[in-house]
Amino acid sequence: MSLYRKMFKCLIIVTLVTCTTPPPPETAISPIPEVGVVKLDIATSDLEKHLLLEIGIKVFEIEIDEEEALEFGEWIFAEIRENETYYLPYILRNTLLASNQWGPIRVLPTEDPSMDLTVSGKVLTSDGERLAIQVTVADSSGRVWLEKKYADQSLITDYPESTRYTPGNPFVQASFLEPFQDIYNQVNNDLVEFRGSLTKEDLINIKYVSQLIYAKDLSPSSFAHMLIEDEKSGVLTVATLPAEDDPQFTRVQDMRLRHHFFIDTVDDYYKALYEEMQAPYLVWRKYSYDKIVEENIAESEIYDFNNYGKSRGYLSLTQRYDRFRWSKIFETEYRDLSVGFNNEIAPAILELNEEVHGLSGTMEEQYIQWRRILQQLFTLESEIPD
């Protein structure tokens, strides 16, 4: 064999080996660990004032990847996911209140400068079987308390046996248990644990910083110098406090009180929406759970072609066809149920975005308008001689 032929043969072998060698496996993304069964950490006695931080929970964001968008795809499911951003924060709000570990807690359309703690959330995965959310919590000084992903898996026992609610079988809110309650319990417990790592001085500083940030929001020229930022950590601390008889700071406190009356009203609207959504959302989730279980069973039943033509094989084939047919019925009913869910809560969403105290637009737009009104009112009152 000539030298050229040997070289050509080696080249072919190398090429074949190279082509048939599988590419290196992609780095697997670690799944979010499930929280498991979590008992809520409830304070059994009254806490000291510096521990009772005021919390604002922003309306959640949603994350829908391309695969999920193709799977669920249409506006029906996108609308449900959007409505979840109002619903899920209120479950967290109720959980934090039930723990008796905190001060006032409100669901808000956006970040609020008067809050001691601000909670932001993003819904990563949500259906009747699994919920995954990312939660970030920071205090008014800029210190991050929590930045973590939580996930939980539901069981059939987490849902009522029947979700066919009628006048004879009404939905009873008191008997309803959130299927993913363990997630919210864990968020509360993590916050309580982090609070325990802070000193009394840290917590008092947070409350003072909240007051001064709100004062700065109303009048930057009068209050900005009272806060200093640590160059390394970026955490704000109080440089100096206003005098107790400072008339401007007294006005700030008055404005803050008015502002809290307003955001209490905003929170009441989110509460009304939450209560309106509870029953239809439970039905949709339960049906989603049943649909996922049905699909998993169908995928696990692989037809044995070695038995094709035998009676047992024929029976397996007909059973598989029946399951396929029922899965299509499930899919159609699931879609109809989703449309019904959106129609059911549409009036509540509309009410949420209607005028509040003479304001107009979405709840977020009304909130911005309100803050501007307070800023203008503070300026006007400051110009009036005492």
pLDDT in tens, 339-363: 444 444 444 444 545 555 555 566 6
Q: What is the mean pLDDT of the chain?
A: 77
**E strand or H helix at 138:** strand 130-139
Mean pLDDT, range 312-317, rounded to an integer:
45
**CB contact at 8 A, 185 and 318:** no
**CB contact at 8 A, 119 and 61:** no
What is the helix, strand, coil percentage profile of the chain, to 5?
Answer: 55, 15, 30
How many CB atoms lie under 10 A from the CB of residue 235?
Answer: 17
Q: At what angle do helices 363-383 and 200-218 cross, to 10 degrees?
A: 80
Query: What 3-state DSSP class applies to 108?
Result: strand
Q: Point out the least confidently predicted range of 37-46, 82-91, 374-383.
A: 374-383
Of 37-51, 148-162, 265-279, the range with the highest mean pLDDT is 37-51
Distance set, CA 348 to CA 262, 275, 354, 361 (Å): 19, 10, 10, 15
Check pLDDT > 90 for residue 310: no
Mean pLDDT, range 368-381, rounded to an integer:
70
Query: What 3-state DSSP class applies to 147?
Result: strand
pLDDT tens, position by position, 244-279: 888 888 888 888 888 888 888 888 888 988 888 888
Nearest to 337 by CA among 289, 280, 276, 295: 280
Q: What percent of the chain has pLDDT over 70?
A: 67
Task: Say how far apart CA 249 and CA 241 lie, in whole Å.
Answer: 10
Distance set, CA 221 to CA 217, 218, 224, 225, 244 (Å): 10, 9, 6, 8, 19
Q: Which pair of structure tokens corresponds to residue 235?
A: 């955490």
Q: How confident is the model at residue 365 (pLDDT cuts 50, 70, 90)?
A: confident
**E strand or H helix at 150:** strand 144-153
| Length in residues, the chain | 386
Task: Say how far apart CA 139 and CA 134 lie, in whole Å.
Answer: 17
Rg (CA), the chain: 28
Q: What is the pTM of this model?
A: 0.76
Task: Say how far apart CA 216 and CA 2 lie, in whole Å.
Answer: 88
- Write the DSSP assignment of 86-138 as a string of letters: HHHHHHHHHHHHHTT-SS-EEEESS--TT-SEEEEEEEEEESSSEEEEEEEEE
Task: Say how far apart CA 244 and CA 256 lie, in whole Å.
Answer: 16
Distance set, CA 173 to CA 107, 155, 274 (Å): 20, 20, 11
Residue type, 231: E
Nearest to 83 by CA among 109, 60, 52: 60
pLDDT at 37: 95
**Which residues, including other chains, have CB under 8 Å from residue 230's CB and lie 6 or more apart?**
236, 237
- Write the DSSP assignment of 240-284 as a string of letters: ----TT-HHHHHHHHHHHHHHHHHHHHHHHHHHHHHHHHHHHHHH
Task: Say how far apart CA 32 and CA 124 lie, in whole Å.
Answer: 10
Task: Say how far apart CA 322 and CA 103 lie, in whole Å.
Answer: 56
| Bridge pairing between strands 105-108 and 55-58 | parallel
Q: Point out the least confidently predicted range of 56-65, 84-93, 233-242.
A: 56-65
pLDDT at 3: 45
pLDDT at 64: 65
Of 139-153, 227-241, 370-384, the range with the highest mean pLDDT is 139-153
Q: How confident is the model at residue 294 (pLDDT cuts 50, 70, 90)?
A: confident
Better-predicted residue by pLDDT, 242 or 95: 95
pLDDT at 72: 47
Helices and strands (DSSP H and E) totals, the chain: 9, 8
pLDDT at 191: 98
Q: How confident is the model at residue 162 (pLDDT cuts 50, 70, 90)?
A: confident
Per the DSSP assignment, residues forming a β-bridge with 138 are 118, 144
Task: Say how far apart CA 245 and CA 271 lie, in whole Å.
Answer: 38
- Write the DSSP assignment of 357-385 as a string of letters: TT--SSHHHHHHHHHHHHHHHHHHHHHS-
Cα end-to-end distance, the chain, whole Å: 110
pLDDT tens, position by position, 180-198: 999 999 999 999 999 999 9
